[in-house]
Structure 1
């Protein structure tokens, strides 16, 4: 076997691990692929005759590549927007074997990727390599250009920040789940014609505002009280589905792409206290709608 083929074989043997490292650091499958490709280029141009631990050596290389990419990203002052938000792994078909897919599913959570975006490049590298991939600080320090004590401090600071943001994310996720359950109950009661159940999810003083006097509110732009609002929706919602409306749980009636109207909710103490119905097409186009995962 010639040297090139030997390098290819060694690189492919570690590809899954390197892909997991790069994705965890970068939060982007496409950028992780770029990092893997750059790592291969650096490997192919290097003298590896004295490399005793190829896996560790390649991990160091891909980590340095990722660090350069993170620093470049920071220098462009990219914000965490919908264009740069981490990409959750939904499928890696064609990329790796089932064992690697299980590894990625277990080790890479979308919420964690969002948290990691809050760290600076050196913190992120130190935290990922030590806390997730169990590399020693003596190995990590040369990668980020710090001494071992400073690297340990970076990882510790990153750990505290991760725990704080992760706690906030979990609270927000729990709150979203409670709102989703309440909205699902509203849709089911409306669809089944269960007037009593509707009253249980509505605050007694609930207010429904209707932008174009569109049914079910008929010609009344504002309805007050659970009795009136429940009567307006009982036996309806056949074409309703829960969605995110401007970041909170709401309802779209009609198709997601071409809604007839959208309901936004204000929820206080487990009850719907306010409902805003939007049916005017110009206003509908201004709403930020997103599908909810089941």
Structure 2
């Protein structure tokens, strides 16, 4: 873990009179939706810490609420305090952001999706899913996605195999017509992403795609301020890099609530 280095040394613990064991509480300092429980349980288990939760992934929590108690070696608890909180705070922040924005577009029948523009990869995508969002592609292996850097190279979608869906990214109506022609040979689920598309042309593009039964995704420059404006076009999906890039970490704290008799700090 990055906090500990190769030696797993905690220099502060070396000067503190440490109890042998302790119990800590994780306390919410803000309202939100919790994500990351499975990951915290795995990490605690790897360090022989007993973690007991009072909530589940996806639960709404309130400021001041105790969500977990962790018991074990005091030194281990202190070594991993920030690592545990970082994981939980980031994932819960993404889940909270996703749930909040999803609520704004629900009446338009639109689902929000995160992208691969993430800092923490799969953890960020899982947090988005906990908050009610879509994960989009998990990686390069599970779908074909033709982007601008592929479009000019030529591609044959008849060679597609062993993927969940095929998607083509387009920026204008001319590219859209070419993409739809290419997708005619595809038997798998088909998606067209309108990426940074002229907003005045979106209704025409959606009409064409609906006529062919192709899933419509809108992306590019969409944020909390203009999200509803795009949702009113009623695409199937709106993808937003900001779900994982700009989500504010949820405020959580860890507090010692009990301990055994102190031991010599030099031991």
Q: TM-score, normalised by structure 2?
A: 0.28
Greater strand fraction, Structure 1 or Structure 2: 2
Greater helix fraction, Structure 1 or Structure 2: 1
